[in-house]
Chain A
Amino acid sequence: MKKNQVAVFIVVLLLAVVFLFPIYLAVLMSVKTAKQTFDSFYALPSSFDLSNYWHAWETSKFPIAITNSLIITSLSVILIVLVSALAGYSIARRNKPFYNIIFLLFLSGMMIPFQVTMLPLYKLGKNLHMLDTHWGIILIYGGFGVQTGVLFYTAFIRQISKEIEEAAKIDGCSTPGIFMRIIIPLLKPVTATVVVLNALYIWNDFLLPLLYLQDNSYRTIPLQQYFFFGQYSSDLNLAFAYAVMGMIPVIAFFLVMQKFIIKGIAAGAVKG
């Protein structure tokens, strides 16, 4: 058995190396010059050269892109959390046909693939002047995120005992008061799940920005990278420096929030 365990360990280790290889290659490319790459492809450079990064920072509008990504991701996530928590509270506490039907509609909406609504969404965005704005895309992300958000919050609030709320009601506390003072403080775990899942999706999303944010000054990181790679396909070292720059925030977010992300995915599977 011991021998088996060593064999399994070696196989997993090799697989891990294969998994890390593309990322390693990207980092390696980003710190070398074209000549160094040509001379010896896999060798580490004799000196770490960060000029690719400097150059990429200057030519790529990276600060604008990261600002756009931060604004759109954070505001969308806040919107999703607020709207879903409120709606989830109503559905969880009013066990009436109207609320249950709304709940079912949110659920069935999740089945609709984005591709089906993409052309009408573009048309709608154009008619309502939502293209090339922050608020337009944030509202759409809100509409997408509220479907799973409501699911999470409803299930979570249903498990909260009603006794405290009823006591507060007798003391004359209004519905908004109960929600603000009693419910919100209890929602932290489910909010963490909703935040990390939506933040990762929105930060990395490509298709909706491709439709909604064509203007240079509104592009998010993935979209800006897509155009940058097309433009600098001959200067690969520069393109890879930009790729690694885009990778750093999301990997940092993942490493810091890992516990919540893993919990969120496991919780999402149970709810689904």
Chain B
Amino acid sequence: MGNLKQAMRKEMWYLLFILPGICLFVMAVVIPLIMGARYSFTNWDGVSNTFASIGWDNYVQAFQDPGFWEALWNTFKYALILTILVNVISLLLALVLDSFLPFRNIFRTIFFLPSVISIVLSGFIWSYNYSTGIPTLLSHLGLDVTSPLGNPDYALFGLILVALWQGVGAPMIIYIAGLQGIPNELHESAKIDGAGSGKAFWYITLPLLAPSVTINLLLVLTGSLKVFDLVYVTTKGGPGFSTEVVSTYIYRTSFSSFKGGYGMALSMMFFLILVVVTVVQMSISRRREVEM
């Protein structure tokens, strides 16, 4: 009897330890998710306390909403281009900054620096950069350019450049850490066997770096699919509809157009799309990894 009591007391401590974490998690994540799922089947306006259930109507409407599809298309275009550019550039930087380059610690600091600035600030700085800074510089060379953010054809690429500026730092660090985990002997034996640096990269470095590639592709892809701040503080989705992404479209639908229920249905579909993308991406890249 005494033993049982003691065991209960011991277990109680562990339960007490985990309880605050569960409470915070339930409040910030679980309850909002359940509320959202429920609202997605109603005509809630996002403000009032009254709403009625309307079944799957919101989801049916979402499938026929050209705005949502266009926002989805913009989001994927933005995310795919950014993911490729960020990974190529940060991998190249990691390769040269992990090797012979003088001042490589200073360079690492410089390339990482933009990542720590808030997106509000970088959006503001770059808007100005695009509208005045770069055109003034290029006018000395006799070139006449205007801000890409004002042109529907280039606005999304303008934003991709800003995100690239802020985005290469963290993946670069992860690639450098990955490179440092590859034993030197492998490169040496490859050299003895007569492999050039290109071949050594392709057959040794890249396969062994696959876990870092997996995690970087995943982090950048899922991060950029969720883009909100950058669009919201620079173009607000314009000009026209050219930079409207899913997050800003949901925000606008929910908070400005007062279609809370419909906004929640869009959110749920977006969540599902993100899960599918993550699972597909993981299963593709895990297959390419090799065991050390």
Which A residues are closer than 8 A to B by beta carbons? Answer: 5, 8-9, 12, 15-16, 19-23, 25-26, 29, 41-42, 79, 82-84, 86-87, 89-91, 93-94, 99, 102, 105-106, 109, 111-121, 123-124, 139-140, 142-144, 146-147, 150, 174-176, 179, 200, 203-204, 206-207, 221-223, 225-226, 229, 236, 239-240, 243, 246-247, 250-251, 253-255, 258, 261-262, 265-266, 269-270, 272
Contact = CB atoms under 8 A, between A and B. Distances in A.
A266 B36 contact: no
Contacts of A140: 27-28
A120 B36 contact: yes
B20 A204 contact: no
Given A9-B101, A102-B22, A139-B27, A262 B173 contact: yes
Interface in B3-24: 10-11, 13-15, 17-18, 20-22, 24
Contacts of B264: 119-120
Interface of B: 10-11, 13-15, 17-18, 20-22, 24-33, 35-36, 39, 46, 93, 96-97, 100-102, 107-114, 116-122, 124-126, 128-129, 132-133, 136-137, 165, 170, 173-174, 176-178, 212, 215-216, 218-219, 222, 225-226, 228-229, 232-233, 246-247, 250-251, 254-255, 260, 263-264, 267-268, 270-271, 274-275, 278
Contacts of A120: 31-33, 35-36, 39, 264
A143 B111 contact: no
Contacts of B46: 119, 123
Given A83-B21, A87-B18, A140-B27, 14 more contacts: A5-B100, A19-B114, A29-B128, A86-B18, A90-B17, A113-B225, A115-B270, A117-B36, A119-B255, A120-B31, A206-B120, A207-B228, A246-B118, A247-B121
The secondary-structure label for the interface of chain B is helix
A65 B79 CA distance: 33
B29 A246 contact: no
Contacts of A269: 174, 177-178, 212, 215-216, 219
B119 A206 contact: yes
B113 A251 contact: yes
